[in-house]
Structure 1
Amino acid sequence: MYWWFYSLETSPATDANAKIDSFKTYKISTIQKWLPFPYIDHVQLEREYSRKQSGNNYSSTLNVLEHELYEANIEDMTLKPIYWSGKTFTIRRSKWFYESENFIVPCDEVLERILEEKYLEFEAFVTADDENEEDCDIKPENESVRRASKKGFQVQEFKLGQPFEYMTGHFITGKHNKAWIHDTTIASQITKAIVHYVSKSHAVELPSYKFLRGINRFRMSAMQYNQQITLLNNEKEKYSVIIEMARVGESLALEKDCRFTPNHLVFVIHGIGQKMLEKKDRDIVVNTDQMRSIINRIHPDNKVMLLPVRWRTQLEMYSDGDNEKFDNLYKDITLQSIPMIREIMSDILLDILLYMSPSHSSLILETSVGELNRIYKLFKTNFPDFSGKVSFFGHSLGSIIAFDILCHQDIPPMSPKFANLRINSSEIPDWMPKPAIPVQNNPNFNLDFEVDNFFAVGSPIGVFVLLRGLKIIGGKNENTLKLYNTLLKSNSHEKLVTIACKRLFNISDFYDPISYRVEPLICRSFNEEPCAIESIKNETSNLAKGVNYLFKIKRNLTSSNSNLQSSNSRPQSPDENNDPHSIVQNLNNTGRVDYYLRNDSLLVNQYLNSINAHMSYWRNEDLLNFIIQNIYYT
């Protein structure tokens, strides 16, 4: 039985022009890190490949792997990401495998075809004696295979031919679905010649490499491997566990349709420093994979699709798209001293300077909106029946970008009776300061979808809003529209801004030096500390998580609603309202916006913790558990 594999690396470790004259040099000249496709993907790939071979209509591309994030092409046998630009990997369909140091490697198409032809040619010889493998003194790979044993089993040699003239092979009677390959070097030939002059009792051992035929043989060998390997999502797992998961996946796929059907979409928007992180293969794609892996572990039944948004790599500094021109000019104006520090300035701090520039700020927003709409369109193409909600996860500068995008969106009335409350920025009197972010949206900043939740993590939104002199009065709800209308008619001189999402969560690591609060800017009298996020270690089950969280929200809503019911029905300004929670409730129905992550370490040093705090969100289980709770349980 054939099986489909995908590579974990894009190219071999050696030079493609290096001389290949032995099996050892052949191994290092080819990709050595492979994993089998899950059973459901294998079935689809094999079906379309069979249709292609038989001349029937077939689909050359299929969406595969976790959450169908990658596209497999059976024409050029490649695998590449669907929603972002990234590395292109190789896929293989093979029946023969050999054991490498840490991986089971599927043979390439040419070697696999030669071995299969030779095996079918000598199949009667191989299956002639059904000898017990445990009683045989044939050793595994890289040890020795005797030409003849005391038990008298036979060896059938064969030549591989071009392009493997430097190797020969042999089968052994009774060794089903196995072959051994050895080199035809001078040393091997001398050893082989000596064999003919030595008795069977003093047989000389020939160095050889064992090949296995069929997926079952592959699994049996793979189970022996427990060494740590790095997967596409950079999560370390035992190789035997991966193979076991593939086996379990077969039975599940046979029982039901395992196709992933998301019911919630989360866009993950990165902050500063992506150019530097890409050099280290730790960019937003890897961070999103880390989040996805942790969420799947703590909430196995979730249907959340996380997609990275790479706005920095799509940014075009000039209208002609010549980014190299900008890079060259920036390099020319950079002094040659302290290169490491200047590289950090270029890769990290330049992003902040670009966003502080009015022209580049608009360019970044346009680029980000374009990328968001492009990804959403692709997502809807792949999942046309999707009717779930969409959320933003913005980190650092990414949260500022997401905030500005949401502030540019048009917020329609929630019901017809509030249609007359729509306020156009052109209707604001000339003597009043215009909002720094206009109420009416810029056509270039229009999203093709609505946003339900906005999770701002490690966010400096608070200080940006303060510097701009803005006042956030609410999100996408009827109370916000009432309040906006009231404040304008009351001749308020504040720059008002609304955010086009139902709920805003401003989440900080308590020791993150870049995070700032938002609640005091929403309501001046709000003096409570940020709300602590419960640790997942203190919760027993997914159901308990949801129930406990619902009770917390109910308590907040009850206290807020009791004050709201006692207040006048007319919309009040923040200064008139006695309950700060009711104002904050315009941005989040829980009555809170600011949250912080606990640090339960026995030894806490604020300054040491602050070093890694800003980049710790991607792997924080408490944060990711909190996000899933707010997506599903409210």
Structure 2
Amino acid sequence: MFRLRGGLFHQTRRLTTQWYYATDIPTTKPYEPNYEPTAAPQKFEKLSEEDSIALETKYRSSSNKIKQNDTSKNSKIVQVGEDNLYTVDLDKFTIKPTYWHGPTYEVRRGLWFSSSGTPLTSHLCSELESLSGKKNEVQKLEGNYQEGKYVLFSEEDNNTGFILKNLDGGKLFLNYLKSGLGSYIPINGVAVYKGEKRPLDLNSIDKILVNSVNKEKVKVKEDIKSEINKGKENERSVLSNLTNWELFDNLPSIFSTTGLDTNQTNSSIDADLEQVHLMGDYPNQKRKIRDLVLCVHGIGQTLGMKYEYVNFAHTVNLLRSNMKNLYSKSDSLKQINKNHGNDDWDSNPGIQVLPITWRHSIKFKTVPTEDDICNPEVPALEDITVSGILPLRKLVGDVALDVLLYEEKYYQDLILDTVMNELNNTYTLFMKKNPDFNGRVHLIGHSLGSLILFDMLSRHRHYKLKFNVSHFFSIGSPVGLIKLVERTKIGPKKGPKPKSTLRVNRPNCEEYYNLYHTCDPVAYRVEPLIDISMSQYDQAYLPHWSELDGFTSKMIEISGNIWEGLPTPPDIQNGTTEAIGTEISNKTDIVTKNEEITITEELKDILTSLNHSGRIDYALKPNLLDVDVISALKSHVSYFEEPDISGFVMNELSNDHKRSDKVVVKKVTK
């Protein structure tokens, strides 16, 4: 029981208009039209001051037009977050990604709050506003709210009160309260207050409310857990049912290099708004973008249906965040932007990365809810899977399934059309929202995504993009294997043409990179497909990122000492990657010095037409323990977390490159 009289709520706080967004329970999920949240969100974060001002201005403007019966069209859409990556709909009070398909979350105006500091819904706030003038009178709420059905405001302060679950005793109890005899009310509700800062006296009632509130929290946690489990059950692919993954459940963070365990990861990934940190520490609301990078996923999110960590939009968010963090520590990259005359060189790398999601637009009959769009007589994958060594079949199937499907012409044409449309639509939307953008556009393809982009760029007369592609980074790519099977070579779009009786694919881009982890079972080299002699020579290696100042040879030298038996990486000098390698067509023209081989002018011209450095294949160094199946799979899905990948991409996009005069390679160490 708690006494409401006696001036407990004597302090009032001034109303603020801080806006909040939920981060735990989505209101909708992409590609799940039947999704319904089983619990209301409980975890909220603040939007930035600039975003809150924009939202409040739009909200009040819309409200005034409604009061004045203004029937003119009034957009209630507000762009928020750094670079306006997220969109708030004030009609629905939701927030969602601007450029990619993602979950929507509830947005709330910070007007009324529960004693726990959670902002209340807009409808409940409206009712509390309209009813707050009547003090010490129990009033019934019209809406159906989880907080309760009735409200009772303080006798001395109509900005504080209780929302009650029920009125024990019915009319008799109501009369008892209204008569003034009832000095106490049962604690079967929640304390509420107006304004962002809670009254100090609420601290004293928390102890009285603790039992009731704790019961509610337990129920909410159970609802949230049920929601997560239900989502996983609904999303589980047919492949997931072929085996249990208990082997992996006992291994901490097999899909994360951040040290989080699987449970922590699963509970946070769906809320990728939280990962973006909309409040942020960015110096300006909308950065000047000079390089737009569009990223295409590969494994079709089949693996992601089991481990939410493998979520492409989220991993691209990680790439964007890694770039910002690394740039903030790199004097060399800042100096490059300063030399280019960029006023915001101290804080802005000028690079924006956006995910291109396409897999859910195409049905392959790999999950129970998908019908085969080609022929209903085609069985599901489950129907043809042999029962032996299921964990290994699961591993291979999840990673390689979409690559196999892509090789069937019907699906290949469908995938290429779908990805082309997604790329063009995203670019068109970006240009609409950033009409002053006049920079370059680059592509990153992961796994099958790199094969899709490679084929699209090689058939650019059939698949027309609305932009020219400058740099194309293929990551963890099976291009080398697929083109070998197709008996197809790789050549530059312009410049010298190698003599060959085979078909030659010529990707329509200025710079082509093939980045991979040496433990990745899906990735293959491409340089031997340019010239077969490159198979004799070692790939180039990505430089390690130094937190001190960008790329440095000393970091390579220190780490190189522990890789006994592995090829020595090339020297990295002055914050740039120098060309170390390429192929060799005429052995009589080779010059050998200290195990380094300078390739011929003819071959150099071919290679530097594909990449200014003369090298296309770049490998990440493996860790000493990366020798098992789990590490191999992890290497394929963790590229966007790697600082070396983020740093390399930034460095290549920032520097003004010149074609190498000499390309040097080293013999493969057996």
> Cα distance, 1:216 vs. partner?
4.1
| Aligned equivalents of 2:581, 2:300: Cα separation in 1 | 43
Does 2:638 correspond to 1:616?
yes
How many aligned residue pairs are there?
Answer: 506
> Cα distance, 1:158 vs. partner?
4.3
Q: Find the counterpart in structure 1 of residue 613 from structure 2.
A: 590
> Cα distance, 1:71 vs. partner?
2.5
Does 2:294 correspond to 1:312?
no
TM-score by length of 2: 0.64
Does the 8 Å CA contact 1:114/1:160 hold for their aligned counterparts? no
| Aligned equivalents of 1:166, 1:47: Cα separation in 2 | 31
Which AA in structure 1 matches 2:520?
Answer: D
Q: Find the counterpart in structure 2 of residue 76 from structure 1.
A: 92
The 3 A distance-change label for structure 1 pair 473 and 204 is closer
SS in 2 for 1:32: coil
SS in 1 for 2:533: coil
Does 2:118 correspond to 1:105?
yes
Does 2:446 correspond to 1:395?
yes
Q: Which has the higher helix share?
A: 1
Identity %: 24
SS in 2 for 1:6: strand
Which whole-Å deviations, capped at 9, do the CAs of 1:363-410 have from their partners, x for residues lacking one? 32222212211211111111111111111111111111111111112x
Q: Give runs of aligned pairs for residues 379-390 of structure 1, distance below 5 A.
A: 379-390=430-441
Does 2:522 correspond to 1:499?
no
Does the 8 Å CA contact 1:534/1:598 hold for their aligned counterparts? no
From 505, 519, 527, the equivalent of 1:511 is 519
Does the 8 Å CA contact 2:469/2:509 hold for their aligned counterparts? yes
Which AA in structure 2 matches 1:393?
Answer: I
Does 2:257 correspond to 1:210?
no
From 184, 192, 198, the equivalent of 2:166 is 184
> Cα distance, 1:317 vs. partner?
7.7
Does the 8 Å CA contact 1:392/1:455 hold for their aligned counterparts? yes
From 150, 157, 165, the equivalent of 1:167 is 150
Which AA in structure 1 matches 2:92?
Answer: D
Range 327-336 or range 66-75, more displaced: 327-336
Which whole-Å deviations, capped at 9, do the CAs of 1:13-61 have from their partners, x for residues lacking one? xxxxxxxxxxxxxx98533233332222222222222222222764322
| Aligned equivalents of 1:191, 1:158: Cα separation in 2 | 7
Which whole-Å deviations, capped at 9, do the CAs of 1:490-548 have from their partners, x for residues lacking one? xx424333221111111111211221112222233334322222222x34035979xx9
From 85, 92, 111, the equivalent of 2:108 is 92
Flag structure 2 segments of 5+ consecutive residues without an equivalent. Answer: 1-15, 29-36, 207-220, 222-263, 329-347, 554-570, 584-588, 591-597, 657-670
Does the 8 Å CA contact 1:235/1:290 hold for their aligned counterparts? no
Higher relative contact order (CA 8 A, sep 6+): 2
Which AA in structure 1 matches 2:419?
Answer: S
> Cα distance, 1:326 vs. partner?
4.4
Q: Find the counterpart in structure 1 of residue 50 from structure 2.
A: 40
From 423, 428, 437, the equivalent of 1:372 is 423
From 268, 287, 300, the equivalent of 1:230 is 268
Does the 8 Å CA contact 1:525/1:580 hold for their aligned counterparts? no
Range 70-79 or range 160-169, more displaced: 160-169
| Aligned equivalents of 2:200, 2:349: Cα separation in 1 | 29
| Aligned equivalents of 1:583, 1:336: Cα separation in 2 | 46
> Cα distance, 1:98 vs. partner?
1.5
From 20, 31, 36, the equivalent of 1:5 is 20
Q: Find the counterpart in structure 2 of residue 472 from structure 1.
A: 490
From 518, 528, 533, the equivalent of 2:542 is 533
> Cα distance, 1:451 vs. partner?
0.8
SS in 2 for 1:504: strand
| Aligned equivalents of 1:97, 1:388: Cα separation in 2 | 45
| Aligned equivalents of 1:112, 1:357: Cα separation in 2 | 56
Which whole-Å deviations, capped at 9, do the CAs of 1:553-576 have from their partners, x for residues lacking one? 47539999xxxxx99xxxxxxx99
From 444, 448, 456, the equivalent of 2:474 is 456
SS in 2 for 1:105: coil
| Aligned equivalents of 1:296, 1:625: Cα separation in 2 | 10
Which whole-Å deviations, capped at 9, do the CAs of 1:284-320 have from their partners, x for residues lacking one? 22222232233333335333222222232223789xx
| Aligned equivalents of 1:494, 1:69: Cα separation in 2 | 45
Does the 8 Å CA contact 1:7/1:33 hold for their aligned counterparts? yes
The 3 A distance-change label for structure 1 pair 312 and 589 is same
| Aligned equivalents of 1:332, 1:512: Cα separation in 2 | 28
Higher Cα Rg, which structure:
1
> Cα distance, 1:221 vs. partner?
11
Flag structure 1 segments of 5+ consecutive residues without an equivalent. Answer: 13-26, 123-155, 410-440, 561-565, 568-574
Does the 8 Å CA contact 2:441/2:470 hold for their aligned counterparts? yes
| Aligned equivalents of 2:54, 2:291: Cα separation in 1 | 25
Does 2:292 correspond to 1:265?
yes
Which whole-Å deviations, capped at 9, do the CAs of 1:244-295 have from their partners, x for residues lacking one? x57x77xx6xxxx522342211111111242452465443222222322333
Which whole-Å deviations, capped at 9, do the CAs of 1:599-625 have from their partners, x for residues lacking one? 355x45355532321112122122112
